[in-house]
Structure 1
């Protein structure tokens, strides 16, 4: 109904302009009021009919003129020009004469009056119908980026659809400095953000550069973080391109945006050959990594996906999610509730489903908890891995990928030691088995259960303080999707015995991460506070990805490194599994560290030979 009313108004307005313009043109050309001549009347009829015809052909009446730009003006020029040509043809056919001056003046009047009417409406709509600055709740906003996206943001805000009032731009393009764009001044570069926010009493900052790289975004956010203004950004270029999100749908800057590097995107197409129409089993399928691996695997349409886990609620949740998301895919989803310490059950599950690929993501990973409960870390991380690996060998699995951690490199904790020993089991199994056994080492995974980010968020929600163990502690970080892609990609690259490592860029200081989370939550550092609690038992100031004996300098795949296979003496592991239940906590911790760091003196323990089977 609104569209029909709008169409009627525009057609009536254009009809008046078209009819009056040619008679006004005749008056200007002839300097006489005698304008109602046959050639002029014939031309006006032809012009009237052709203009409305081509206005519909080129969808001129479907344009939203409150957002008009140069493209809309060019469209008006096109419609008017074609109409004038048609009027000239009719004039020549009816009178045998072509009045060039009349047609030229009429063309100019049409452009001026029709284009001017649209421009006047846009000015009226922007400056009269919506005046965001008159409302007290409107926040003064600085736009970072004076390019096409920035001007679109300003246009949206000026339309009155947001609770923000744009007052200025900043842009690093020196050619734009000092100019006015959309009526707003470009006051400086991104280095001037702090001073501009202070001088103009800015309450909100919008980063309007969708193609901005992560490293540049971090630098801009660091400047914004020096101010009390809330900082948001517009959606990514990909989301805008596919129409998933509008340019005006601002989002908060996420921790993932501040890693200082581009997200690692791996070639998932290369893995389809070993997943599509195959049977895949995931241990720890209800966990952060395991569940994301299941989601990404499902996109490749395996014939059957087996979700194995110890917690029934998490397995049920991922089962329901996958069945809903891939209900028309033809994938058979099976759930198995099983404890990896139950060797017979794991062997039975593997023999029943006969998976082609196994992703082993089940593990205890919390450093302080495992430090206090080393026997549980042995049961789950070492014994559980051994059972899963043996079961995979017996079932004739093609590829077995184990999820490990950077804490397994020169480990100082129980958790890191048990994961290193699990890697040793995998590498030893690869020597005897037809199955290709490989491991994948991660840094800290943002947002995963037990990671530092959820802890910081809870502390901020509770009013602080945020607890950081040491001001100089650094960690490698990656996102859950990145971690899951690496697991899947490793299976495609596996030859057997390798340890794959993702290039995660430079490590991030935990203190900087805490500061950024506080600011992104809308608080100042003074309001929340940061408390240093001291390093916990087993923690290191920094983590490594490969030790000196494992390093291969070349990347075997973009952003993926591979560690050399190392000779594993399995007697120490066999001794550990035979005595760990009888040791004290301190004795067990020491034994784990000695085995994981290759410091165990085998002459002091009974030797035994353990086969892969």
Structure 2
């Protein structure tokens, strides 16, 4: 054995000495047990004589089996297995060595059997006892100031959490687990009992005198998480959650880094299944361009596209600040990604064509648009039309002229039976893409395929009610909601971006894809949920109703009345069969958009109504 102090940790030396003492004790104890603790003098001499042969032999075997490379605080079944193998081999070698070296001392056969059994207990037990001590299994006794918590879930995530909390106390100790699996009731996980079902959280919280519940259900459906959170909120229990498994695996955080549950945890949805191989064919090694690259959807599209290693990612954005932020972020997150940050206005045909001629994108995602309904409704209608319709037409025409393979336009649910200028302009932009497709049939070799994708609100986007509600809650209220019955669809920004990529892959040209937005959410209920998640209630932060704003609908739709949908191979995507536009409208629309003089609001809305018959402005418009 090489015990050079420069290569052996002092703790390792201490462990070696421990095992030598354990081996010595086990050998002598085996003799004592053989003779019922009354060892004859001749056998006392035999025990001591053989000890000088047995213990060094066992020490060499232990070293060769690598028993001193592990850490006791992480001792587990593999360590116990190595101890069993090492002790077993040493037990076989001891009689051979004693015979080979003609040691005359008498060794009873029962001693040869008892010694390895005692040694396994001493070596394995001491390691497990040390781990149990280090992990503070009796956390409530060792840390009287820690708070008792219940854990919702009794699966792998809960097991990881209990281990982490034991190793790194975070001010909590777990007193019970809850799980809907009947097979787990009454069982123990890391010594903690599974008390009952998830819906019984309020009952067990009272019995166990806890105020905090930790959700350890990373793979559970969001509906389940929302139900448990609602139950806890009604019982005035604080709800915490573990980090995502992605963050834990990446090493950014540990399982025990508990945080308050957030809105994304409840309104988010099940992960999107993507056709990765198809998206690699579409994006990997190709130049991809994103307009509105600094916006909520555009920036997330850039992040999702970057995962597929495009040859170059062209970021086209009007906002200098937003473009700078993306220019700084993407190289850090995706080293080696080639980006081309371009400042520009999508209405500037000369510049858009110049950019496409220089970079030759194979795919264009058009996310640049004005999206704020009230702002576009009063005083800004002509700018909304020019940006949303003319901008789409300019980028689409440039894409066609420069041989872009796929053009994907981001639309909105507000384009369905629009009651506002923003929705009508996005419907007109959809029609422009369909007209471009009709002018260039799918069978034309090398032609551009134009695809539109509709979806509703995304969590945390600029202009969303959620950041607004958060600021109002932080200020102590009131939280302003326009109407008690107003309802919207929500999805997370990453999910929306992923489905846009999937729709872009599937589109053959001329389709309007509709994303499955799940169940609609009442904005008033959303406000109440956010207030409860903040730890407050409606008595301290009230909700105030301000009335519908210009152009705002109570309910959003994803399909117009005269539209139907067709299924696609992807469960969260359907194709809308939209109303065919009247012949000749496209040329007239382009002539109108080319006007440089200002168009007053009433004239803009009359013209929108002429081309989008389903557009029904509200009386105040």
The separation in 1 between residues aligned to 2:8 and 2:532, in whole angstroms, is: 45
Aligned-partner SS, 1:522: coil
Shift of 1:451: 1.4
Partner residue, 1:28: 33
Q: In 2, Cα distance between the equivalents of 1:212 and 1:282?
A: 34
Task: Summarize deviations over 1:222-261 as a string: whole Å, max 9, x none.
Answer: 2222233322222334444555542212233232221363
Q: What secondary structure, in the 3-state scheme, does the structure 2 residue paired with 1:281 have?
A: strand
SS in 1 for 2:536: coil
Correspondence for 2:404: 397
Match of 2:367 among 349, 356, 361: 361
Distance change (3 Å), C-alpha of 1:4 and 1:28: same
Residue 496 of structure 1: how far off its partner (Å): 0.9
Contact kept, 8 Å, 1:211 with 1:236, in 2: the verdict is no
Q: Which runs of 5+ in 2 are unaligned?
A: 1-5, 441-446, 617-621
Going from structure 1 to structure 2, the CA distance change for 1:172 and 1:277 (only over 3 Å counts) comes to closer
Question: What is the deviation of 1:63?
Answer: 4.4
SS at structure 2 position matched to 1:552:
strand
Superposition map of 1:118-129 within 5 A:
118-122=127-131, 124-125=133-134
Provide the C-alpha distance between the structure 1 equivalents of 2:572 and 2:528, rounded to a whole number of angstroms: 28
**1:161-310 counterparts in 2 under 5 A?**
161-178=169-186, 182=190, 184-241=192-249, 243-259=251-267, 261-310=269-318
Asked if the contact 2:419–2:551 (Cα under 8 Å) also holds between the matched residues in 1, the reply is: yes
Superposed CA offset, 1:157-183 (max 9, x none) = 344631123233223233443456555
Counterpart residue number, 1:343:
349
**How big is the shift at 1:128?**
9.7
Note if contact 2:472-2:479 (Cα within 8 Å) is conserved in structure 1: yes
| Alpha-carbon distance between aligned partners in 2 of 1:394 and 1:231, rounded to the nearest angstrom | 55
Equivalent in the alignment of 2:444: none
2:495 to 462, 478, 482: 482
Q: What is the aligned partner in structure 1 of residue 536 from structure 2?
A: 523
Alpha carbons of structure 1 residues 187 and 571: separation in structure 2 relative to 1, 3 Å: same
Distance (whole Å) between structure 2 residues aligned to residue 542 and residue 83 of structure 1? 77
User: Taking structure 1 as reference, are residues 57 and 129 closer, same or farther at Cα in structure 2, changes over 3 Å only?
Assistant: farther
Aligned with residue 501 of structure 1, among 502, 514, 533 = 514
* TM-score (norm: length of structure 1): 0.87
Which of the numbers 563, 567, 580 marks the counterpart of 2:576?
563
For 1:57 and 1:344, how far apart are their aligned partners in 2? Answer: 75
User: Is 1:449 matched with 2:462?
Assistant: yes
RMSD across aligned positions (CA): 3.2
Number of aligned residues: 597
Question: 2:254 aligns to what SS in structure 1?
Answer: coil
Q: How does 1:72-221 map to 2 (within 5 A)?
A: 72-91=79-98, 93=100, 99-122=108-131, 124-125=133-134, 134-136=143-145, 138-159=146-167, 161-178=169-186, 182=190, 184-221=192-229
The answer on 1:408 being equivalent to 2:421 is: no
Q: Give the counterpart of 1:546 among 541, 559, 563.
A: 559
Moved more, 171-180 or 350-359: 171-180
Deviates more, 1:304-313 or 1:203-212: 203-212
Instruction: Classify the secondary structure of the residue corresponding to 1:544.
Output: coil
Secondary structure in structure 1 of the residue aligned to 2:30: helix
- Which range moves more in the overlay, 429-438 or 467-476? 467-476
Alpha-carbon deviation of 1:38?
Answer: 7.9
CA contact (8 A) 2:382 2:599 kept: no
* Cα contact 1:412–1:540 (8 A) shared by 2: yes
Closer, same or farther in 2 for the Cα pair 1:202/1:339, shift >3 Å? same
Q: Is the 8 A contact 1:142 1:197 kept in 2?
A: yes
Query: What's the CA shift string for 1:501-553, capped at 9, x where partnerless?
Result: 22232223323322332233333343322222233232223222233544333
